[in-house]
Structure 1
């Protein structure tokens, strides 16, 4: 679901239709995915800073 949204650019409704699940389920799974990502990087603030700096076009 995360890949479909962030990499393929599908909206939550499109994902829900494609997977035959509700939009609420897509929202819930996205929330869980982001929680897990945050948790896995909670002690790696410099990595997050570098990643988001690169994504937003900031130079290091």
Structure 2
């Protein structure tokens, strides 16, 4: 199971377009958090699915 992003946010330069499926379990990551924090826009096809499944967007801090 992929628990860590597949690349580093250090590789993402301004204006970069990333097309990614994203993770499908809360404990998984495909996209590095640093890249998400740099994003000007984020599109999702299923907002409810993102909130329930996408580890990149679920706050696991207790």
Normalised to the residue count of structure 1, the TM-score between the two structures is: 0.32
From the two aligned structures, give the one with the greater helix fraction: 1
Greater C-alpha Rg: 1
TM-score by length of 2: 0.32
